[in-house]
Structure 1
Amino acid sequence: MDVLAGELAISRATLYRAVGSRDGLLGEVFWTIAQFLITEAAGRTTSAGPDRVIDISRTFAQRLERAEQLRRFMATEPEAAARILFTAAAEVKHRSIEAQARIFRDSGIEGDPDDLRRRAALYVRTLEGVLYGPLLGSGPIAFESAEPALRALLDG
C-alpha cells in the first residue's frame, strides 16, 4: 500500500479511504482479472448447454494456472489469499457465484433462480478445489477429476 500510495502521489490515509483495505483492493484486482478471463473463455467456446459451461470453466482454469503473479501471491501470502478469495470480506466469493449463475443462464441451463444460485455456489466451490487446491490444503486437483461433479450440478 505504501508503494501504491507513492506511485499515485497520495497519502496512505487517502488510499485507504478510497479502497477500504488492502484485502478489498486485492479483491478488486483479482475480480477484474477473473472477469477478463471469464469473458475470454466464453468467447473461445462454440458449445452450448452444459458443454459450454464446462468449456468456459476448463479454459478459465487453464488461464488461471498460468497466472504466475497470482500463484506467487498465494504461495507467499496464503492467509491473505484465502481471506480474499474465500470469504465475504472482498466480495470475490459472491461475485464468482453471481457470474457462474449468469454463465448457467447464458448457456441455457434453466431452473428456479434460487435453485440456480445454489447450484452455482456449489459449482464455484467445486471449481475452487481445482483452481486453489494447494491453498485449500488438498493439493493439486486435475480439472478432469472434478468434471463429473461439475456436470452433475448442471443436470439439476
Structure 2
Amino acid sequence: MSRESKVPEPEPFPPDDPLLQVATAMFLRDGWLDLRLLAKEAGIGRATIYRRYGDRDRILGEVLWAIAVTIIRESAPQYRGRGAEAVAKTIGAVTQHSASMPAMQVFVSQHTETALRVMTSKHGVVQHRFIGAIAFLIEREVGVPPDIDITTLAYAVQRVSESFYYRELITGDPADIPAAVIIIERLLSYPPTKRR
C-alpha cells in the first residue's frame, strides 16, 4: 500500500455531532443501526441522514471509529515509551476491548458481511484511519523503518491484527489476540532510526 493519490478521506464526524451520539448509543445497545429508528431517535428524516451523513456503512464506520478512538486514547498512555511493545500492546488492547464488547459480538456474528466490509474495506473510513493511527504509533514509539514505507508497514500490522481477530470467520479457529500482539512486536523490532 503506497501513498498513491486517491479521493480525499472524509473527515470524521465531530464527537459532539448529535447523530453520531445517537447512532453510537444505538450500536452499543443493539449491535446494529436501523436507519429508520435512528432517524426517529435523532429527530431527523431518513432522507436528511442519507444526504448529510451518507449510507449505513458510512455511519457504522464513523461509530466504530469513534469507539476505537476512545479505546486508543485510554490504552496508548499505559504503554508509552516502550517501543515495539507499546505499539503491539496498544493494538492488542484495542482489539481485545472490541472483541469483548457485546455490541461487536452481535455485529460480527449477525451482520458478518457488513461488519467485514465496514471494518476492512479500503473504501470505508475505518481501515484508512486505523492504518494512519498505527503509522503514528510506529513513528512515535519505534521510529521510521529503514527499508519500507511506514504506511505499508502499518497496513501489514493492521492485517495481522485483523487476521487473528477474525480467525474464527476465516479458519474456524478461535480468535487469538495474544498471538497477534507477539507477532506485531516482532515485526516492529527493527533497529531504531532517526525520527522524521
What residue ranges of structure 2 are gaps of 5+ in the alignment?
A: 1-34, 191-196
Counterparts of 2:67 and 2:119, CA distance in 1: 13
2:121 maps to 87
Conservation of the 8 A alpha-carbon contact between 1:64 and 1:131: no
Q: Give the CA deviation at 1:106.
A: 1.8
Unpaired runs of 5+ residues, structure 1, are none
* CA 19–138 in structure 1, closer or farther in 2 if over 3 Å, else same: farther
The more displaced of 111-120 and 64-73 is 111-120
Counting only pairs closer than 5 Å after superposition, residues 115-130 of structure 1 correspond to structure 2 as: 115-130=149-164
**TM-score, normalised by the number of residues in structure 2:** 0.72
Aligned-pair Cα RMSD in Å: 2.0
Give the corresponding residue for 1:142.
176
Give distance in 1, aligned partners of 2:146 and 2:128: 19
Task: Normalising by structure 1, report the TM-score.
Answer: 0.89
CA gap 1:81/1:8 in 2 versus in 1, 3 angstroms: same
* Cα distance in structure 2, aligned partners of 1:66 and 1:26: 18
C-alpha deviation, 1:46, in angstroms = 4.8
- Sort the Cα spacing of 1:46 and 1:121 in 2 relative to 1 into closer, same or farther, 3 A: closer
Q: 1:44 Cα shift? A: 2.1
Distance 1:147 1:87 in 2: 22
Looking at structure 2, the residues matched to 17 and 78 of structure 1 have their Cα atoms a distance apart, in angstroms, of 26
Report how far residue 138 of structure 1 moved. Answer: 4.8
Is 1:76 aligned to residue 110 of structure 2? yes
Instruction: Give the superposition deviation at 1:119.
Output: 0.7
Pair 1:137–1:20, CA change in 2 (3 A): farther
Given that 1:24 and 1:89 are in contact with CA atoms closer than 8 Å, whether structure 2 keeps it comes out as no
C-alpha displacement of 1:150: 1.4
Task: Supply the distance in 1 between the matched residues of 2:156 and 2:113 (Cα, whole angstroms).
Answer: 23
Separation of aligned partners in 2, 1:91 and 1:18: 16
Choose 15-24 or 125-134, whichever is displaced more.
125-134
Describe the SS at the equivalent of 2:73: helix
2:100 is the counterpart of 1:100 = no
Query: CA offsets, 1:32-67, max 9 Å, x none?
Result: 111111111102225511111122122222211221
Identity in percent: 29
Once the two structures are TM-superposed, the CA of residue 111 in structure 1 deviates from its matched residue by 2.6
Write the distance in 1 (CA, Å) between the matches of 2:52 and 2:58.
10
Out of 64, 79, 82, the position equivalent to 1:45 is: 79
The aligned amino acid for 1:42 is A
- 1:89 counterpart SS class: coil
The residue that corresponds to 1:152 in the other structure is 186
2:89–2:181 CA contact under 8 A, matched in 1: no
1:123-147 C-alpha deviation (Å, 9 max, x unpaired): 0000012222234445323223234
